[in-house]
Amino acid sequence: MRVRELAKPADGTRLEIPALLAAITDNAGTVTGCSRIFLDAETGGLADIEAPKRVLGRLQGNAIRFGKWADCTDLLAGEGLENTLSVGTALPRAALASCLTANHLAAFNYPSSIQRLWIARDNDKTGARAAFCLADRADADGIEPVVLTPERDDFNLDLTTGGVTEMRRRLVALIGTKVSEHDLWPS
């Protein structure tokens, strides 16, 4: 949801600028926090202020969720909001959980009802460490983890560079090599 939000730049003045707000929830759907991303009104990109991305409340273990995540068998957890939504653009029926940072991806409390946890990480050491930490926990809990790595720095860059058709083709091929039945998209 886009709203106008007050932001305080480094010089201490107050600005009214657009912001993207998203609820952070736990597995029961209880709101535990709110993510705010301040935007530049002209470009739609991040606002040129100190810390344009902020979280209020409790993110640890929780996520911003999209799709029918409450009763899915396959859940895709992503490292950042842009990363997760980029994968969701290519796989619009997938249940998504955006953990916002690598540290929070590693600490994500996935629902015990899922069969597979697809982990969309950034293509760097921090992303790899977080993804494999989460994958190890899921595996120990009897949930099949599958780590998805972008070709470039992150899935957002893959999407903006190669387009949605190319990204979908690549993800479908990657997912198809792992499993034949899933609920990431209709058969």
Give the model confidence (pLDDT) of 16-33 as tens digits. 899 999 999 999 999 999
- Is residue 110 over pLDDT 90? yes
pTM: 0.88
Q: What is the predicted pLDDT for the residue at 18?
A: 93
Cα 161 to Cα 103: distance, rounded to the nearest angstrom: 26
Q: What is the predicted pLDDT for the residue at 4?
A: 54
- Is residue 61 over pLDDT 50? yes
What confidence category does residue 1 fall into, taking pLDDT thresholds of 50, 70 and 90? very low
Is 20:7 a contact under the CB 8 Å cutoff?
A: no
End-to-end Cα separation, the chain, in angstroms: 31
Q: Which residue has the tokens 């790899």?
A: 128
